[in-house]
Amino acid sequence: METARVRGNVLGVLVDITTYDRATNAVLAAALANQPFTLTALAVHGIMTGVRDPVHAARLNAFDTVAPDGQPVRWALNLLHGAGLADRVYGPTLTLRILERAVRAQLPVYFYGSTEKTLSLLAARLRWMFPELKIAGCEASKFRLSRPGENAEIAARIVASGARVVLVGLGCPRQEEFTYAMSPLLKMPLLAVGAAFDYHAGLLRRPPTWMQAVGLEWLWRLGLEPRRLWQRYLILNPDYLARLFAQWLGFWAPSPAPPALAPLDTFPV
């Protein structure tokens, strides 16, 4: 029997004290029951999007699962809430675990986001890894905001494909906005999995295991894409740490935003 959901306040964002198994089981249960379900895996950048935008924090707090993707987020749960988590819930790894279970349950999956090239490479590699994986569809990002009624059109395409699980790779925070906006229209899990598409398509190299274990994946990513990521890591990371220690020491008590209920009129597609 699954235990009740437990969340910890990390800088005002409610993050689930969860594991790979619990997160995977929750996704599969929703898929098998044809129920809407939203999940995102947040690293430091994802947490800071909520810190800097309270409206977005309210959307994050409405997700069914907010998994601790980055080691610093896991450390925050352990430091602030005594979570005792031995591992993070890394988006690319969680993706593979969910796909493995989807194969066993014969659940078709749909990939939304990134580019046509990335999706083509991703589908080919996943079919090699999981020969019996049922890919219901792949739809590349339009890299713009939605137009009126487009949410219903996208939902209709996904439903018509026969998909039972949707994986979203639009980058943070675009993928969380898309997932939040589309969930009311789809009776299936939508999972915002970040860079998992690029990793599993073979377009991003994974850092050494030791760098992941000590929370230095950001340094690896910065070395690969310095011009795109320097601001994210060199500004947001120190800000995150300063706020984390202020919360731990009791100098700052961020109140979690009440979970958002209002629909998004426009959202990234």
User: How many C-beta atoms lie closer than 10 Å to residue 140's C-beta?
Assistant: 16
- Domain of 104 in residue numbering reads as 7-200
φ/ψ of 125, rounded to 5, equals -70, -40
* Mean pLDDT score across all residues of the chain: 93
Residue 154 lies in a domain: yes
Residue 209 lies in a domain: no
- How deeply is 1 buried, as exposed, middle or buried, from its count of CB atoms within 10 A (0-12, 13-18, 19+)? exposed
Residue 140 lies in a domain: yes
Average pLDDT rounded to a whole number, residues 164-169? 98
pLDDT confidence of residue 201: 95
Instruction: Write out pLDDT tens, residues 21-51.
Output: 999 999 999 999 999 999 999 999 999 999 9
Residue 99 has pLDDT above 50, yes or no: yes
Rg from Cα positions in the chain = 18
Contact present, 60 and 13 (Cβ < 8 Å): yes
User: What amino acid is encoded at 142 in this protein?
Assistant: K
Instruction: Write out pLDDT tens, residues 203-262.
Output: 877 777 777 777 777 666 667 678 776 777 788 889 999 999 999 999 999 999 899 888
pLDDT confidence of residue 231: 72
pLDDT confidence of residue 208: 76
Residue 36 lies in a domain: yes
User: How many C-beta atoms lie closer than 10 Å to residue 51's C-beta?
Assistant: 18
Residue 1 has pLDDT above 60, yes or no: no
Residue 117 lies in a domain: yes
Q: Taking the complete model, does pTM exceed 0.85, yes or no?
A: yes
Contact present, 105 and 31 (Cβ < 8 Å): yes
Residue 241 lies in a domain: no
Residue 13 lies in a domain: yes
Instruction: Write out pLDDT tens, residues 173-203.
Output: 999 999 999 999 999 999 999 889 999 999 8
Q: Which among 187, 180, 184 is positioned nearest to 164, based on CA atoms?
A: 187
What H or E segment, with its residue span, contains residue 60? helix 54-60
Summarize the chain as % helix, strand, coil (round to 5): 50, 15, 35
Instruction: Write out pLDDT tens, residues 105-138.
Output: 999 999 999 999 999 999 999 999 999 999 999 9
User: What amino acid is encoded at 93 in this protein?
Assistant: T
Contact present, 168 and 175 (Cβ < 8 Å): yes
Our count of domains for the chain comes to 1
Residue 73 lies in a domain: yes
